[in-house]
Amino acid sequence: MRVLVVEDDPILAHGLTETLRREGYVADNVPSAKGADAALRVTDVDLVILDIGLPGTDGFTWLKRLRARGEEQSVLVLTARDAVTDRVHGLTVGADDYLAKPFAPEELMARVSALARRGRAQRSRVIEHGPLTIDLAKKRATVHGRPLELPQREHAILQYLFSNIDAIVGKDKIAGAVASWDEHISANAIEVHISRLRAKLEPSGIRIRTIRGLGYLVEAWRDAEP
């Protein structure tokens, strides 16, 4: 799950992104509404953690504009404003949840987790591909009912590939889906992760093809040969 933190306080923004990453989320930060718009143009984001007191365009105005564009990312509003009218206004213009500063990190993560579960409930919670089952909510995968033991990065790549079955995905797309902006994942590293996934999946007839010059393609199960 990719999270965008829109917060102009650099210390708080850094703390939030590091906390999210430790919990397994892909998290990035921008300091303004303008930066948030630029980020959403190039990155698929599942959850926005939004400060209201932003420089330039404030968070409420940006959120209203976001919803007017028809975008449906979950939004958790963070603000020092704790008046009931502000909370009501935030929810009215499109926030999914509201947390007043200062807050405990444990409460923030509980709310993020709840919004993540809600978002997954609106999508398919389970991906099935032949003997492979990926449970998005539990972040678990099984083959023939047996657990598939994967490091966090490999599981993220697995989930991305099998969420895009029948589509060719390039190494840059994979890196962008599973890593934060300030993390560098080389093309060679992607190849290593794919190789390890193949070693674990191919004995069960699940194929990940290399399309030279373009990327990788998960073969439809009906075409796979054990």
CATH of domain 2-122: 3.40.50.2300
What's the pLDDT score for residue 137?
67
Which residues of the chain have a pLDDT value below 50?
223-226
Count CB atoms within 10 A of the CB of residue 144.
Answer: 10
CB 141 within 8 A of CB 154: no
Q: What is the largest CA-CA distance in the chain?
A: 62
130-137, long-range: CB < 8 A, 24+ apart: 130/204, 130/205, 130/206, 130/221, 130/224, 131/204, 131/205, 131/206, 132/162, 132/201, 132/204, 132/206, 134/158, 134/159, 134/162
Tokens of 14: 């850094």
List the chain domain ranges: 2-122, 126-223
Instruction: Name residue, tokens 């306080």.
Output: 9
CA atoms within 13 A on the CB side of 80: 5
The residue type found at 58 is D
CB atoms within 10 A of CB 83: 10
SS3 assignment, position 50: strand
What gap in Å lies between CA 42 and CA 33, rounded to an integer?
Answer: 15
The residue type found at 199 is: A
203, amino acid identity: P
Report the C-alpha dihedral over residues 40, 42, 43, 47, rounded to 10 degrees: 0
CATH placement of domain 126-223: 1.10.10.10
Tokens of 126: 């389970």
DSSP state of 221: G
Alpha helices in 69-186 (DSSP H): 84-92, 105-122, 152-162, 171-178
Q: Which of 116, 191, 123 is nearest to 163 (CA)?
A: 123
Q: Which long-range contacts (CB under 8 A, 24 or more apart) does 16-21 make?
A: 16/49, 16/108, 17/180, 19/105, 19/108, 19/109, 20/109, 20/112, 21/180
pLDDT at 224: 44
Which of 39, 1, 31, 2 is closest to 14 using CA atoms?
Answer: 31
Q: Say if pTM beats, i.e. exceeds, 0.75.
A: no
